[in-house]
Structure 1
Amino acid sequence: MPSFPNKSLANAVTLCNIVFGSLSLVYTLDQQFGLAAIFILIAAVLDGLDGRIARRLDIMSPLGKELDSLCDMVSFGVAPALLIYAQVLINYTYSLGLITALLYIVCGAYRLARFNVLDISGYFLGIPITLAGTFLALLALFAAYLPAHLILALLLLMAIMMVSNIKIPKL
């Protein structure tokens, strides 16, 4: 029986990340916001695993790094922004909800591109998109108990923090 190639294992876990991010989008469109948030949280667990697997098996590669960023853009950029928009901000005055959700997506894309071209090993520059997206998924689980203005402000804060120059130590 052939064994699963080690080099494919981390990438397979990464691709599972985008599957759950995509499922979050589908469930958001179906207005099942709780499940959509849970799928983002599952994607976050998978995102943490793929890097650990790659480091443990010493199979890190430029392809894996790029694949991870593309998957993260869906799971922690587009999915949480659409979730928060559809759940809370869709009827926000003057389209501020839509503008803020789009700004979050743009900042997430910029953050990932910046991460991929900088060779920084000891810290993150700005908060990682995985952290921002996970925070928004948790926020979505409690959105019914929070004012829309606060959720809008937190979405904007996450966008700004991703592109900030704040140094966050890698654990």
Structure 2
Amino acid sequence: MTDLSWKDFINALSLANMVLGIFSIFCSFSRKYHCASWMLLISFLLDMAIGTMARQLNISCRLGAELNDFAVFTSFGLASALLLGVEGPLNGFLAIIYVLTTSFRLCFYSSGVPFSYKGLPCPYASCVLASTSLLTKGNTFILCCMASLMILFMIDQSYYPRDEILESENWKKMVYMGGVIMLFFFPFSLTAFYCLMWSLSYIFFPDSLWGTATCHGL
């Protein structure tokens, strides 16, 4: 494939990621939170694949970057916030705060420090919410507690390693492949628990599990 064709393909994947987010939003409005959460887990895995392909092929363009930012905001901002529900004033207010936090997080996505992000990346916060929603069957109280915690992590401005799992150690590649396999072939509860443990390990043990070795490998 030519360079232009690869750019088109990656842009198409970013567009597909955005479509998943839009479908998740529609599912949330229809009170089908199970389906909405499932869409976000697929989007979480797809986002990692898009980033890996762009880096490996050394492809960068303004259109692709903007399209990917829109996809991230749609899926990991708007769609994730709607998992909280908008029936009550507290849920609606927290959903708005979550969307604003995601916007703030995207503005500081590049930390200026090699191999690191400033603030918890939005996909991991979204994965935590989607997995929690599936495991608790949409319990809004637990979701609001988790969302509040994710908001604090995203605005904390601590440094998190760039987890290039498809480009570093083999065990990290297996973690990703395990997520893909479980997503399509295992019960929903097991898949949600797997993704939740994966995300929490990145949040609470960023350097010991996902940091130094990845930087040296790259």
TM-score band w.r.t. shorter chain: 0.7 to 0.9
2:5 is the counterpart of 1:5 = yes
Counterpart of 2:97 (choices 83, 99, 103) is 103
Shift of 1:105: 0.5
Which stretch shows the higher mean deviation, 100-109 or 65-74?
Answer: 65-74
1:127 alignment counterpart:
120
2:129 is the counterpart of 1:136 = yes
Contact 2:121/2:154 (<8 A) preserved: yes
| Corresponding letter in the other structure for 2:80 | P
Which structure carries more relative contact order (alpha carbon 8 Å, separation 6+)?
A: 1
Instruction: Return 5+ residue gaps in structure 2 as ranges.
Output: 164-218
CA distance in 1, matches of 2:112, 2:159: 14
Matched pairs, number: 162
Counting only pairs closer than 5 Å after superposition, residues 54-69 of structure 1 correspond to structure 2 as 54-69=54-69
2:39 is the counterpart of 1:26 = no
| Corresponding letter in the other structure for 2:48 | G
1:45 alignment counterpart:
45
Identical pairs, percent: 27
2:150 alignment counterpart:
158
Secondary structure at the aligned position of 2:120 is classed as coil
| Corresponding letter in the other structure for 1:83 | L
Q: Deviations over 1:88-144 (max 9, x none)?
A: xx33xxx2211111101100011001215x534311111001111111111111233
Instruction: Return 5+ residue gaps in structure 1 as ranges.
Output: none
TM-score when scaled to structure 1?
0.85
TM-score when scaled to structure 2?
0.68
Aligned-residue CA RMSD (Å): 2.1
Contact 2:33/2:138 (<8 A) preserved: no
2:184 alignment counterpart:
none
CA distance in 1, matches of 2:29, 2:91: 17
